[in-house]
């Protein structure tokens, strides 16, 4: 049933965000520590576990895939509620500070990519987007790399 997928997604989201919240409290900072990331990992692990056992049928998966597909519209809605006026009227200092942070970070993406690639070489030659057939290869390379 579709609701099983939605419920699985909900439980993973709530658990992850709660863990993030507790971590923040423990460290003493008023922010969620990686809640979304933890939730995502929970979903990946739970999903692959259930898939192996054959508990995930097409309908259940659709319950998750719907929300994954609704992601872009959600992001558009999120864009529509940003304080754009506040950003534009923040003055030249705020704009320059924001812009330079972004420009520097963009420039660092290829730098960091290359730094790591030197260490573990080969696997980056293949375009790495979800080819499960590569899995055995990757296994061998990660284990030799460490």
Partner 1 sequence: MYESMLEVSAKYSLVTGFAVIGATMWFSYWASGKFTNGRVHGSAIAIMLGLFMAYLGGVFSGGQKGVVDLPLLSGIGILGGTMLRDFAIVATGFGVNIEELKRAGSAGVMALVMGIVTSFVAGVGIAAAFGYTDAVSMTTIGAGAITYIVGPVTGAAIGASSEVMALSIAAGLVKSILVMIATPFVAPYIGLNNSRTAVIFGGLMGTSSGVAAGLAATDPKLVPYGCLTAAFYTALGCLLGPSLLYIVIRGIAG
Interface with partner 1 includes 3 (CB under 8 A)? no
Interface with partner 1 includes 100 (CB under 8 A)? yes
Contacting residue, 12, 18, 22, 121, with partner 1 by CB under 8 A? 12
Interface with partner 1 includes 53 (CB under 8 A)? no
Interface with partner 1 includes 40 (CB under 8 A)? yes
Interface with partner 1 includes 133 (CB under 8 A)? no
Contacting residue, 44, 57, 121, 122, with partner 1 by CB under 8 A? 44
Interface with partner 1 includes 29 (CB under 8 A)? yes
Read off the DSSP letter of residue 126. S
What minimum distance in Å lies between the beta carbon of 53 and partner 1? 16
What minimum distance in Å lies between the beta carbon of 1 and partner 1? 17
C-alpha 89 chain-centroid distance: 31
Contacting residue, 55, 87, 121, 122, with partner 1 by CB under 8 A? 87
Contacting residue, 3, 22, 31, 122, with partner 1 by CB under 8 A? 31
**Cα torsion through 98, 102, 105, 109, rounded to 10:** 170
Interface with partner 1 includes 122 (CB under 8 A)? no
């Amino acid at each position: 049933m579709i609701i099983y997928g939605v419920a699985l997604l909900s439980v993973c989201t709530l658990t992850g965000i709660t863990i993030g919240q507790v971590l923040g409290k423990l460290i003493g900072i008023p922010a969620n520590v990686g809640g979304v990331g933890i939730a995502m990992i929970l979903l990946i692990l739970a999903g692959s576990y259930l898939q192996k056992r054959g508990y995930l049928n097409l309908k259940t998966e659709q319950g998750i895939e719907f929300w994954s597909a609704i992601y872009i519209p959600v992001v558009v809605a999120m864009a529509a509620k940003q304080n754009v006026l506040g950003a534009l009227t923040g003055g030249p200092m705020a704009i320059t500070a924001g812009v330079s942070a972004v420009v520097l970070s963009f420039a660092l993406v290829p730098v960091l990519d290359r730094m790591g690639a030197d260490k573990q070489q080969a696997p980056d030659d293949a375009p790495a987007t979800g080819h499960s057939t590569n899995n055995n290869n990757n296994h061998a390379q990660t284990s030799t790399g460490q």
